[in-house]
Amino acid sequence: MATAVIAAVVVAVLHSPVLSARHVVVEGHHSRTPTAAIISAAGLAHDPPLIDIDAGRAAASVTSLPWVASATVTVDWPDSVVVRVTQRTPVAAVAGPAGTWAELDRSGRTLEVVGARPVGIVALVVHGPSGVLAPAPVGRRVAPAAEPGLEVAATLPPAFSGQVTTITVAAAGTVDLALNSGLTVVLGTATQLHAKYEDIAAIIAGAPLRGAKEIDVAAPQSATVDG
């Protein structure tokens, strides 16, 4: 009887407000996800007892939020919980229905759907057997056909990334870049990208491009300019 009474007291104490998540701190950059949404996803909105918090499950729930790349949840007795998050970075935008645009990260995950093309993010157009690929719903990943374009979008060097307005992936998987100067850059497959980027930077910096229409770097170190 005494053991049962002691056990009941222990359970009652562990589930008392004194040992609940009265103080929740969210750390890390999360400008695109409200703090309240993170706390709610972690199941911490109503001060649960610390003994009932499954840190792994709470972290997984936070990571399911569209903009969250990773999360950890740490229980800090007697009354605190720390949630640390990292934010996903958009690398490209894909046009959707009715003038909408989907922001995608490197993995192809749709982070957000907005009503106008996002400023400062390259547009991605992917051609497939059935036409131009549509973006996936928020939180889901676009079809694998977009992978070459996403690889390019995520690795464009600062030397000329600001000049790239659109990345186009053909049905065969080859990639072209449209520059704001009107030039088209033929990358070919998304391989040997570092060497191809060096060719592009060298041509833009040193070649007379007046009247040129296309830079072809599909074969690295054998780039051509078509004008």
**Which pLDDT score, from 0 to 100, does residue 211 have?**
76
> pLDDT tens-digit profile of 162-207?
999 999 999 999 999 999 999 999 999 999 999 999 999 988 887 6
**Which pLDDT score, from 0 to 100, does residue 1 have?**
56
Of 28 and 8, the structure prediction assigns the larger pLDDT to: 28
> pLDDT tens-digit profile of 19-48?
588 999 999 999 999 999 999 999 999 999
Q: What angle do CA 124, 129, 135 make, to 5 degrees?
A: 35
Cross-strand bridge partners of residue 87:
68
Instruction: Answer yes or no: same fold for 2-87 and 90-226.
Output: no
Domain boundaries, the chain: 2-87, 90-226
Residue 63 CA to its chain's centroid (Å): 12
> pLDDT tens-digit profile of 63-80?
999 999 999 999 999 999
Asked if residues 201 and 193 have their Cβ atoms less than 8 Å apart, the reply is no
**Which pLDDT score, from 0 to 100, does residue 210 have?**
77
Q: Who contacts 8 (Cβ-Cβ below 8 Å, separation ≥6)?
A: none
Q: Who contacts 49 (Cβ-Cβ below 8 Å, separation ≥6)?
A: 14, 15, 16, 19, 20, 21
> What pLDDT band is residue 5 in, cutting at 50, 70 and 90?
very low
DSSP reduced 3-state for 227 = coil
**pTM for the whole thing?**
0.86
Q: Say how far apart CA 114 and CA 147 lie, in whole Å.
A: 22
Return mean pLDDT, the chain: 90
Options 3.40.50.300, 3.90.380.10, 3.40.50.10960, 3.40.50.2300; which CATH number does 90-226 get?
Answer: 3.40.50.10960
Options 2.40.30.10, 3.10.20.310, 3.50.50.60, 3.40.50.300; which CATH number does 2-87 get?
Answer: 3.10.20.310
